[in-house]
Amino acid sequence: MDKATSDEIIALLEREYPLAECTLDYDDAYHLLVSVRLAAQCTDARVNKVTPALFERFPDVRSMAQAEISEVEEYIRPCGFYHGKARDIVGAAIMIETQFSGRVPDNMEDLLKLPGVGRKSANLILGDVYHVPGAVVVDTHCIRITNLLGYVQTKDPVKIEYALREILPPEKSNDFCHRMVLHGRAVCVARRPTCGECVLKGVCAHAAQI
């Protein structure tokens, strides 16, 4: 992928999806940390239905750090895999309280120390909450579509993250990843992409082959 093609893709996506926003509802870093953990193998829409009651009961890091895991499980049960998710959420809150003065870390190294937080979640928090340039959130949509477009030829999320950092303008990378999600849901759908209707068909490596 050359830079000129990448820049064209970015411009086309910006025009098609002017609002590049996270589809999880959150007010702060703590809310997003919890929500993104709940979203694992669960839809954002379902997470958004569960979190209002959860955050009313546990509105901040301190209250979550003092929570009983079994009680948290009852609130998040509809999101699936609730045993592990509750354990991670409470464990992360305890670590934030005891090691980070009650504030969700604003750097990759410390975020990755938290239970249940991987690079995808960390990049989302860094980009959306702390507005760190160069944050690249590699989810399933990003993996699939960047391969189809010709940015990468790998399914390895870390390799994709670093490859995209090399070519995407740092100030646009976070929004680019949100637009990958929007495009993956609306047009470039897994197993049945509607290439004929795609705004990127003129610059897509996959579309050029069909």
Q: Note the pLDDT tens digit of each residue in 47-80.
A: 999 999 999 999 999 999 999 999 999 999 999 9
pLDDT at 191: 86
- pLDDT above 90 (res 122): yes
- Matching residue, tokens 């411009």: 11
In this prediction, residues 2-23 reach a mean pLDDT of 96
What pTM was estimated for this model as a whole? 0.93
Residue 167: Cβ-neighbour burial (10 angstroms; 0-12, 13-18, 19+): middle
pLDDT at 24: 96
Report how far residue 130's alpha carbon sits from residue 126's, in angstroms, rounded to the nearest whole number: 5
> Domains plus CATH for the chain?
3-21+135-209 (1.10.1670.10), 29-128 (1.10.340.30)
pLDDT at 198: 97
- pLDDT above 90 (res 210): no
